[in-house]
Amino acid sequence: MNEQSAAKVRRLNRIAGQVNGIARMIEDDRYCMDILHQMQAVKSALAKVESQVLKDHAACCVAEAIRSGDADEQKQKFEELVDLFEKRR
Q: What is the CATH number of domain 3-87?
A: 1.20.58.1000
Q: For 2, phi and psi rounded to 5 degrees?
A: -80, 170
| Sites in the chain below the pLDDT cut of 50 | none
Q: Report the alpha-carbon distance of residue 15 to residue 50 in Å, rounded.
A: 12
pTM score, whole prediction? 0.81
Q: Report the alpha-carbon distance of residue 5 to residue 53 in Å, rounded.
A: 9
pLDDT in tens, 46-60: 999 999 999 998 888
How do the domains of the chain map onto residue ranges?
Answer: 3-87
